[in-house]
């Protein structure tokens, strides 16, 4: 089976190279790996490092709290951070808490052997879904402890299919799999994977850390003071259509819109939908209308704190964005109908801190209900804050196990 898997991986790599001729992202994937051997050889000494691997930016943010705690706990130990996707590497290639940042080479036995010969880690940590059988086998052969953190499993994954026996070996080669939930533990146990432990989702720890460190924006403080405010994050056109309609009917409500795409033409389109809006980049004009459009990236997690209610975009497309970022500030979270693959959104809805809407009428009715009932708004806000607090702590659970390994 390994032969066929590796052949498939090689064909995948060839396909990416062909796609790179006309696709910039595929081109970055290829060019970033061209000199990986030389880059590892020329990097500062990595022997005995802690190796952190993430698929992309989302997984990096998920594991970031643990990485930074490890850096503080073991300051003399190098940290190697690898990514599979360009979207993670390109944004975090200058991240100062890692001693070396690189792409993970294609998962072949030869690449895995060369990589580990050069790096010689004391510990490998893979975040969430990342399972690469050739790397896992090479790690196990060298008796390097391997952890999976914030892992989550579902019965439709190959490990739980009749033909997935070979892939299960990779899971059994880990030192421990820290899962987000008990359902994942039960699934793993059902196929004989018993090196498991429930720790929870490290994203809760991350959003709490972010909330403690966010900068203040006096312009938004003044804009929202004593005003009901809806902060809409990572919005797409379908979200913006609904919000604009409500904003026009309710000029007494303040809006802060942080769209997922901030390129110029999209911002112009949003401004047309919100006639009273001003751009964040025109700070001197903030307050002349009831809406601020955030036309810069990287501010959303800090801006949510100025809201009374949060709206998280993406629910009328392929799926919603991060609902924990607003929930940590203690506010109701509204999102569209496509949220069933997002556990935290389901949980927020179940506990009474989140609400899914299918159309404008549902949005209008729910916003009116919240804004007319201080009791309901306060109740949902309190539940949201408590939900995040109660689910925090995964980072410390994992860190205690790592201390046992490294000490």
In the chain the domains, ranked by start, together with CATH numbers, are 13-201+393-406 (3.40.50.11720), 216-388 (3.40.50.2000)
**What averages of pLDDT result for each successive group of 10 residues across the chain (407 residues)?**
93 91 88 90 86 94 96 96 93 94 96 96 96 98 98 95 95 98 97 97 96 95 96 97 96 96 93 94 90 93 97 95 97 96 94 98 98 97 98 98 95
Q: What is the pLDDT of residue 153?
A: 96
Cα–Cα distance measured from residue 92 to residue 50, given in angstroms and rounded to the nearest whole number: 17
Inter-CA distances, 145 with 173, 184, 233, 402, Å: 9, 21, 39, 9
Cα–Cα distance measured from residue 368 to residue 366, given in angstroms and rounded to the nearest whole number: 5
Single out the residue of 385, 88, 94 nearest to residue 211, CA to CA.
385
Q: What is the pLDDT of residue 268?
A: 95
User: What is the edge-to-edge ordering of all strands in the sheet holding 146-151?
Assistant: 100-103, 79-83, 50-54, 123-127, 146-151, 176-179, 196-198
Radius of gyration of the chain (CA): 23
Per-residue DSSP letter, 90: H
Cα–Cα distance measured from residue 385 to residue 184, given in angstroms and rounded to the nearest whole number: 25
Q: What is the pLDDT of residue 41?
A: 84
Is pTM, for the whole model, over 0.85?
A: yes
261 classed as catalytic: no
Catalytic residue among 39, 59, 176, 362: 59
């Amino acid at each position: 089976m390994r032969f066929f898997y590796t052949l498939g991986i090689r064909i995948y790599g060839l396909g990416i190279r062909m796609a790179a001729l006309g696709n910039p992202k595929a081109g970055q994937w290829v060019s970033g790996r061209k000199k990986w051997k030389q880059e590892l050889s020329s990097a500062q000494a990595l022997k005995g490092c802690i190796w952190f691997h993430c698929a992309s930016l989302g997984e990096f943010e998920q594991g970031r709290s643990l990485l930074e705690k490890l850096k503080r706990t073991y300051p003399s130990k190098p940290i190697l951070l690898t990514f599979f996707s360009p979207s993670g590497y390109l944004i975090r290639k200058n991240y100062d808490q890692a001693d070396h940042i690189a792409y993970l080479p294609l998962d072949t036995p030869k690449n895995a052997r060369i990589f580990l010969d050069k790096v010689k880690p004391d510990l490998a940590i893979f975040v969430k879904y990342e399972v690469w059988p050739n790397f896992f086998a090479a790690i196990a052969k060298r008796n390097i402890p391997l952890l999976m953190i914030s892992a989550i499993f579902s019965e439709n994954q190959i490990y739980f299919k009749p033909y997935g026996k070979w892939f299960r070996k990779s899971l059994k080669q880990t030192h421990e799999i820290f899962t987000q939930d008990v359902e994942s533990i039960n699934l793993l146990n059902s196929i004989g994977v018993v090196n498991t432990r429930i720790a929870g989702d490290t994203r809760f720890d991350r959003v709490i850390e972010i909330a403690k460190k966010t900068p203040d924006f006096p312009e938004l403080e003044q804009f929202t003071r004593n005003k009901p405010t809806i902060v809409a994050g990572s919005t797409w056109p379908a979200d913006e259509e609904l919000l604009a309609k409500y904003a026009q009917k309710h000029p007494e409500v303040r809006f802060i819109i942080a769209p997922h795409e901030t390129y110029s033409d999209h911002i112009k389109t949003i401004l047309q939908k919100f006639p009273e809006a001003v751009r964040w980049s025109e700070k001197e004009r903030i307050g002349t209308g009831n809406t601020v459009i955030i036309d810069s990236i990287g501010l959303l997690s800090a801006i949510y704190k100025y809201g009374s209610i949060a709206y998280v975009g993406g629910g009328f497309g392929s799926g919603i964005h991060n609902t924990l970022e607003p929930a940590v500030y203690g506010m109701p979270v509204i999102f569209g109908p496509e949220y069933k693959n997002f556990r935290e959104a389901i949980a927020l809805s179940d506990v009474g801190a989140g609400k899914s809407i299918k159309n404008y009428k549902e949005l209008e009715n729910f916003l009116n209900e919240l804004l007319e009932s201080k009791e309901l708004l306060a109740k949902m806000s309190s539940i949201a804050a408590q939900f995040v607090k109660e689910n925090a702590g995964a980072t410390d659970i994992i860190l205690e196990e790592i201390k046992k390994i490294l000490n």
